[in-house]
Structure 1
Amino acid sequence: MKVLLISPVFHGYWSAFAAALEALELDVAVHCYDAGGIGNALAHRAPGSAFAARVRGAATAAAIRALAETDPDAVLVVKGDALEADWWHALAASGARSALWLYDELARMRYDDEKLGTVDRVFSYSPDDTRTLQGRGIDAAVLPDGFDALTAFTPRPSHRTSFIGARYPERERLLRVLSEAGEAVEAYGREWSRSPWDVLRTARWRGAGVPAHGDVDRATYFGVMAGSAATLNIHGDGHDGFSMRTYEAPGVGALQLIDRPDVAQHYEVGSETLVFRSDEELVDQVRRARRDESWARGIREAGRRRTLAEHTLVHRMREVRAAWA
């Protein structure tokens, strides 16, 4: 089966999605609809502008060309809300089997029922959004994020607790809580970084007050998480789906500390991953991880086993392939 993957660049995850499809012996072509650097970045900052409309129009035309040139048997669109109606009409007219995978909440995307109704199935990482779509008559199913088990990495041993991701107030606050309690921490991502280029492009003029690094590729941050004393996964409010990090951290053998008790639907809390419900509990768990390496190692190993058995991107793409069948 020839598959066309239409995906955002989004931290290079398109390559992990493509590799997972190829692991299922599918012939995969990839088109990243938002490749193009600064133009797409500017359009994202001003989505209602005439310039953003031109960028979306160009992205739509390029995706339609990729569809015509590839002539696929099936198409998987990831996120895709930057593509205009012409793309969805072309996809429906192509005769290819189709699926859309949403890794963000509908409220944060530009979709209407007409666009969503053109694909054979909508997959969402959000159970709430899935129920909403089903209630509106759209063929929808939950498809959680997953772990890219096909990317090799080398653990980078460290006594610090790590955080990899965007800089939000609650994430910054919790890193400071740990730091002020005497625990060593570090953060990764351009919004944390103090390099002049990162400061300029993010307009984060004030530092977070914790050791920080810029963006790193997936293999590098896998190694950081695996080698850290523990790694934080902080969702905050407004999310009912679980981020990629939820599966990546245990997948690489890291000791994950997550702020979502409902992670119990995917992992056994206390033996495969850890949940914190307060600042005090977070500090206590980090301190125990440093003191009791045997306890921490058992959780790391169990979390990795569960992830490799149930939560890889190959598992997720297998569900997409089944929908096409």
Structure 2
Amino acid sequence: MRILVIGAYWDAQGHISCSTARALKVLGHDVSTFDYVGFRDRWSDKLRNRLNARLHARGWKVLGCRVRELLERVRDWKPELVLALRAETISPDTWRCIKKTSVLANWCQDDPFQWGAQIPEPRVFDYFFVFDPFYIPLLRDAGARNVDFLPCAADADVYRPLSLSSAEREVLGSDLCFVGTWYQCRQVILESLLEFNLAIWGSSWKLPLMRPWNPLRRAYRGRACGHEVVKIYNAARIVLNIHHPQSRSAMNMRTYEACAAGAFQLVDDKAELRSQFAVGEDIVAYRDVQDLKRLARYYLAHPDEARHIAQSGRRRVLAEHTYVHRMKAMFAAMRDGIR
């Protein structure tokens, strides 16, 4: 099958797009990719595309340069399936043009209704897959058809155990590490963990940490992306996963990626966690801050137990939660029909 994958290739979503395309190729499909944001001039393209989507919603017919390129790609390459990975800045009118010749599907690994990243018209897609089942009834209420739950995944070719040098462990190592964007809810939890050798990596921390009284300033190590994140997971004794509020019942990609990297992970408990992992054997879940601190102390004092759980978690992800598994599930859902 000829499949066009439309995703972002410059930020944290970049590896989702690349990993999805690789998985489809492994399954024998002819795959082409399209960056709906635009790498060379990503901010102006992103702003223009979002403005374009807003104008389309109000009846204006305006096309940005990325939209023209996309329509030309579809016309020339003639994909049978177009798989959008969120692609929130592409207008419904553009999707309708594409839909004349291709089946449309969307796999959204974020809240599809969040401000600034809202999918303008979910009903335009033939199939809509979302990372958290909480959003399924909301998407149906918005007119989306054939909506199904498709969890996040890990790319085992990217996230894997590494042999780090002593210098790398010195720079990247910690007892507890957190990799992710700043949010106030995360700030509160991380402040309670300063008794540990805590390392924080990620974006959007600079402004909050400019406040001289912010206690997390000494724990912040800087931005991290790509292969460096894999090294950080390998260097940490415990990888801490604090979900964004958009993860109502299911898990983010970090849940699968940290396990695939062979890291021991402490994650805030979610309703879907036990349907995908053996909690206490593959991964350890905490209920609140006091529980988190108790578990961190215990597993830092019992590294052999932590190592055994980390190895089991990696085996689980390789057996059930890679991008190849997700693409197989997506095609099975399309083939069987989704209510």
RMSD: 2.8
1:149 aligned onto 2:156: yes
Aligned equivalents of 2:144 and 2:298: distance in 1? Answer: 49
Q: Aligned match of 2:184 in 169, 174, 178?
A: 169
Aligned equivalents of 1:287 and 1:71: distance in 2? Answer: 56
1:8 aligned onto 2:8: yes
Aligned equivalents of 1:48 and 1:93: distance in 2? Answer: 19
Matches within 5 A, 1:46-195: 57-94=64-101, 96-108=102-114, 109-111=117-119, 115-134=121-140, 136=143, 138-151=145-158, 154=162, 156=164, 157=169, 158-179=173-194, 182-192=195-205
The residue matched to 1:64 in structure 2 has which SS?
A: helix
Aligned equivalents of 2:198 and 2:63: distance in 1? Answer: 40
AA aligned to 2:24 is L
Residue in structure 1 matched with residue 267 of structure 2 by the alignment: 258
Taking structure 1 as reference, are residues 46 and 252 closer, same or farther at Cα in structure 2, changes over 3 Å only?
A: same
Taking structure 1 as reference, are residues 42 and 54 closer, same or farther at Cα in structure 2, changes over 3 Å only?
A: farther
Residue in structure 2 matched with residue 321 of structure 1 by the alignment: 331
TM-score, with structure 1 as normaliser: 0.85
The residue matched to 1:98 in structure 2 has which SS?
A: strand
Displacement of 1:91 in angstroms is 1.6
- Residue pair 1:149, 1:308 contacting (<8 A) in 2 also: yes
- Residue pair 2:80, 2:103 contacting (<8 A) in 1 also: yes
Taking structure 1 as reference, are residues 43 and 92 closer, same or farther at Cα in structure 2, changes over 3 Å only?
A: closer
Residue in structure 1 matched with residue 235 of structure 2 by the alignment: 227
Aligned equivalents of 1:31 and 1:162: distance in 2? Answer: 34
Aligned equivalents of 1:185 and 1:45: distance in 2? Answer: 37
**Percent of residue pairs bearing the same amino acid type:** 25
TM-superposition CA deviations, 1:266-285 (whole Å, max 9, x none): 11111111111222221121
Taking structure 1 as reference, are residues 152 and 111 closer, same or farther at Cα in structure 2, changes over 3 Å only?
A: closer
AA aligned to 1:126 is D
TM-superposition CA deviations, 1:14-51 (whole Å, max 9, x none): 2112111111121211101012323146569989988x
The residue matched to 2:100 in structure 1 has which SS?
A: helix
- Residue pair 1:159, 1:229 contacting (<8 A) in 2 also: yes
- Residue pair 1:57, 1:84 contacting (<8 A) in 2 also: no
Unaligned ranges ≥5, structure 1: 193-198
Aligned equivalents of 2:179 and 2:61: distance in 1? Answer: 33
Unaligned ranges ≥5, structure 2: none
Aligned equivalents of 1:163 and 1:300: distance in 2? Answer: 16
Q: How many residues align?
A: 310
- Residue pair 1:43, 1:55 contacting (<8 A) in 2 also: no
TM-score, with structure 2 as normaliser: 0.82
Moved more, 233-242 or 299-308: 233-242
Residue in structure 2 matched with residue 297 of structure 1 by the alignment: 307
Q: Aligned match of 2:21 in 18, 32, 37?
A: 18
Aligned equivalents of 1:246 and 1:223: distance in 2? Answer: 16
- Residue pair 2:179, 2:224 contacting (<8 A) in 1 also: no
Q: Aligned match of 2:42 in 30, 37, 41?
A: 37
Aligned equivalents of 1:54 and 1:166: distance in 2? Answer: 35
Displacement of 1:256 in angstroms is 1.0
- Residue pair 1:40, 1:55 contacting (<8 A) in 2 also: no
Q: Aligned match of 2:292 in 264, 274, 282?
A: 282
Residue in structure 1 matched with residue 226 of structure 2 by the alignment: 218
Aligned equivalents of 1:189 and 1:55: distance in 2? Answer: 36
Aligned equivalents of 1:55 and 1:40: distance in 2? Answer: 14
Moved more, 182-191 or 303-312: 182-191
Residue in structure 2 matched with residue 196 of structure 1 by the alignment: none
The residue matched to 1:106 in structure 2 has which SS?
A: coil
